[in-house]
A = this chain, B = another copy of it.
Amino acid sequence: MSRSTTDVPAQVAGADACTVREVLDRVGGKWSIGVIVEASRGPVRFTELERAVEGISRRMLTLTLRNLERDGLLTRTVHPTVPPKVEYVATPMARELYDALLTLTTWADRHRGDIAAARHRYDEARAD
């Protein structure tokens, strides 16, 4: 974390934007983050996720799980027991991603008030 925006040459800016888009396309889904967070804390079962990720439907949980597994962010383990038991856990790569997202969290915490104020000001000005 040494470079600042102003240090970035104009040329690489576009490429960076593209790269960010890749990540966002992957974890930008409505539920991906929530699932990653839960799976980062250790192996978790399908039904546990269904309850832990507030508001998610069974369909979306399945789809999200598949996409994350496909990208190597989640490991799916089937225990051949009766009844069947399937556990999901975040891969090291996903944990690193989560750490990276922490940077965004910090930003959001710092500027939450500013954003709310800006919105209020904007809406206020339009109300006239």
Contact = CB atoms under 8 A, between A and B. Distances in A.
Interface of A: 1, 3-6, 8, 10, 13-14, 16-17, 19-24, 26-28, 33-34, 37-38, 40-41, 69-72, 93, 95-112, 114-115, 117-119, 121-123
A40 B102 contact: no
Instruction: Tell me what chain A mostly uses at the interface: helix, strand, loop, or mixed.
Output: helix
13 contacts: A1-B103, A13-B40, A16-B101, A17-B37, A20-B33, A21-B33, A24-B27, A28-B28, A69-B122, A70-B119, A70-B122, A93-B111, A97-B107
Contacts of A106: 100
Interface centre among A3, A101, A106, A117 (most CB of B within 10 A): A101
Nearest to A22: B108
A54 to B, nearest CB: 9
A101 B110 CA distance: 15
A118 B72 contact: yes
